[in-house]
Amino acid sequence: MTVQQQRGHCRAGAWRRHSCLLAGTLARAWHFHAASPALLICACCLTLPAAHAQTGCLGRPYPNTVIQNPLDLTASNGVLKAELTLRSQEMLELPLKACYVYDAGSEQVEAPTLRLAPGDTLDLSLKNEFSYFRHHTTPPPPSPPPHDPCTGGNTATTSTNIDFHGLNIPPDCHAGEATITTIENTDPPFTYKFQIPQDHPPGMYWYHPLRLGSATVQLNGGASGVIIVSGIEKVKPEVAGLPERILVVRQQFDDDDPEAWPPGESELSLNFELSVSPHRPSPVIQMKPGAKEFWRVANAASQAFLALRVMFGKTAQPVKLIALDGVPVRKSVDLRTIELPPGGRAEFIVTGPAAGQEARLLQTEVEIGRTGPESDEQELAKIVATPDAKVPPALVGGMPGATAPAPRPAARPTVVRKLYFAEANNGTIGPTRYFLAVEGQTPRTFKPSAPPAVVTKVGAVEDWIIANRTGENHAFSMHGVHFLLLAADGKTLLNPEMRDTVTVPAWEGEGPYPTVRLRLDFRDPRTAGTHVFHCHILHHAETGGMGKLQVNPQ
């Protein structure tokens, strides 16, 4: 097991804008020259109270570092037992860091990848040591002891929980429940324990906080990691033996003001290395010339809609799609742009450039609507082809896992419902409340204590037509079950695939509202329970854009 090289000092963003103003000013005042980077690094990395440094986050990669996979934690004898600690670290003039720290014995690492096979049990202990709260706010008192994390608690930026995004697991406090579970930083370690179903689709999932009142701040700080359910090579043999590259796109904001919308400036990162070219060199993906790799990409940004391209020079290259949102696709089409809403994942085969050929992974400009945050083109990484490239290990065959494609929903729905995204603003910069409402019901912002917006029963097959009545994109995300994406923007898709998160495009001010049509299959008795659905722009979810679905037993 190789620990990822994550030991860095200051992040690239520190050099980019305001964060190094102090250092730059000092350097100028003291007649230092650009040849004094060490001093600037020190100045940039001045931390707030020393106590944070003892318990805070780990260093993140330098600019221009070769991208490596996160540390793998793999189940043994059917169980993956691990302990994570959620921490925060505030740094002068820099965005907040939030991190899942794993103690690997000789050293600590951030955000390990959890690898499980269908049938394995995840036994994950989470200690909440998150201490950050906004400067001009008062930290709420901890809930009076003894506090039961399964009964809720204070809505505070110091509370947390984990959403195991996309896994088809029961909505239980110790598994997939994400609205009530509240782990406070005064609680003892909390245990998540559940089994991956034997028939679970093999693919890429991820974990992140979803506690209302803290999720956005924590996710923006970097609190997220990947889950791999093994066995994809059995459904998609073409990936067997290919180097398996785990790429996590995150997004950090210069200002964590939860009321500011659209939010302020932000930067994307790839495996924690900031992508801020041309201000600093980009992360580097090393590949063997012309070799194929299996890329597994998670959009762990809280707000960014991704449209990724592998560029050779100015030409977008085709990549072969293998899976979406953790589910192998029925038809492995070639795509030149991989579109991922916040929370979405895509797995695909990339063929590397020739030695010396200019290549890069590019986030292209995304149309996100008039009132949404800007989304400009950004180079995420340079792709460097060299015979001695350090490539990630090949995907190991022979792992347990499903051998057949995931089942599809029934051909006909028993129920058709209409839902819609809406917003209420009191001004040009908010405050804005977000609604994910069922047509015919009074739109209400989500409250965890509210009754379910949708009630159905095991055996139902439902089509949901979800409209966007707002001027910005939303990302509809469903917990507990995947859905078949039948139509987008009113057009029936030729190759519908299973998803758990999908973009609902912005309304352009006239004409019909853009819609997506999903098919949800509740014939499996294991779908019984109360699931949530929400916008995966977590700021929207936290300010109302969420609902509950109750599936009653038959």
Alpha-carbon distance of 287 to 291, in angstroms, equals 7
Return the residues of window 237-266 that contact other proteins according to CB under 8 A: none
**Nearest distance from residue 440's CB to other proteins, in Å?**
12
Report helix, strand or coil for 374: coil
Contacts of 489 (CB under 8 A, 6+ apart): 505, 514, 515, 516
N residues, the chain: 554
Written as six digits, the tokens of 362 are 């590019």
The 3-state DSSP class for residue 541 equals helix
Residue from 427, 440, 451, 512 binding other proteins (CB under 8 A)? 427
**Minimum CB–partner distance for residue 444 and other proteins (Å):** 4
Among 22, 150, 335, 424, binds other proteins (CB under 8 A): 424
Candidates 424, 372, 172; CA nearest to 266 is: 372
**Could you give the string, one character per residue 308-347, with x where binding to other proteins holds by CB under 8 A and - elsewhere?**
----------------------------------------
- Alpha-carbon separation of residue 492 from 38, 307, 368, 385, 504 (angstroms): 57, 21, 21, 39, 14
Distance CA 108, CA 85 (A): 10
Burial 324-353 (b: 16+ CB within 10 A, else e): bbbbbbeebeebeebbbbbbbbbbbbbebb
Q: Does 470 bind other proteins (CB under 8 A)?
A: yes
Please, are residues 296 and 204 in contact by the beta-carbon 8 Å criterion? yes
Q: Which stretch binds other proteins (CB under 8 A): 89-97, 312-320, 357-365, 468-476?
A: 468-476
Q: Is 443 in the site for other proteins (CB under 8 A)?
A: yes
Query: Under the criterion CB under 8 A, does residue 444 sit at the interface with other proteins?
Result: yes
Interacting residue with other proteins among 458, 471, 526, 552 (CB under 8 A): 471
Cβ closest to other proteins, residue 371 vs residue 552: 371
Name which position in 207, 261, 295, 435 contacts other proteins (CB under 8 A): 435
Among 54, 106, 442, 492, binds other proteins (CB under 8 A): 442
User: Cα angle vertex 213, ends 208, 217, to 5°?
Assistant: 55
Site membership for other proteins, residue 433 (CB under 8 A): yes
Contact status: 370 vs other proteins (CB under 8 A) = yes
Give the residue with the Cβ less far from other proteins, 192 or 420: 420
403 or 442: CB nearest other proteins: 442
Sheet with 113-116, edge to edge strand ranges: 72-74, 113-116, 225-229, 203-208, 163-165
Q: CA–CA separation, 307 vs 377, rounded Å?
A: 9
**Per-residue x/- track, 484-523, other proteins (CB under 8 A):** ------------------------xxx-------------
Token readout for 353 is: 């450039």
Of positions 423, 462, 521, 542, contacts other proteins by CB under 8 A: 423
Among 5, 64, 315, 425, binds other proteins (CB under 8 A): 425
Of the candidate residues 108, 154, 357, 445, the single one contacting other proteins (CB under 8 A): 445
CB 369, min distance to other proteins, A:
9
The piece of 22-30, 32-40, 45-53, 425-433 that touches other proteins (CB under 8 A) is 425-433
DSSP state of 526: G
Half-sphere exposure of 66 (CA within 13 A, CB side): 12
Give the shortest CB-43-to-other proteins separation in angstroms.
Answer: 27
418 lies in the binding site for other proteins (CB under 8 A): no
Residue 133: exposure state from Cβ atoms within 10 A (0-12, 13-18, ≥19): middle
Amino acid, single-letter form, for residue 407: P
**Least distance CB 337 / other proteins (angstroms):** 25
Which of 277, 371, 550, 552 is the binder for other proteins (CB under 8 A)?
371
124, 248, 300, 437: which one contacts other proteins (CB under 8 A)?
437
Run of H or E including 40:
helix 37-44
Please, what is the minimum distance in Å from the beta carbon of residue 423 to other proteins?
7
Distance in Å, CB of 454 to other proteins, minimum: 18
Give the tokens for residue 136.
């001009």
Separation between Cα atoms, residue 503 and residue 474, nearest integer Å = 6
- Dist CA 189 CA 217 (whole Å): 21
Applying CB under 8 A, the span of 168-176, 277-285, 292-300, 441-449 interacting with other proteins comes to 441-449
Binding segment (CB under 8 A) for other proteins, from list 219-227, 377-385, 434-442, 478-486:
434-442
* Nearest distance, CB of residue 370 and other proteins, angstroms: 5
Interacting residues with other proteins (CB under 8 A): 370-371, 422-429, 431-433, 435, 437, 442-445, 469-471, 508-510, 544
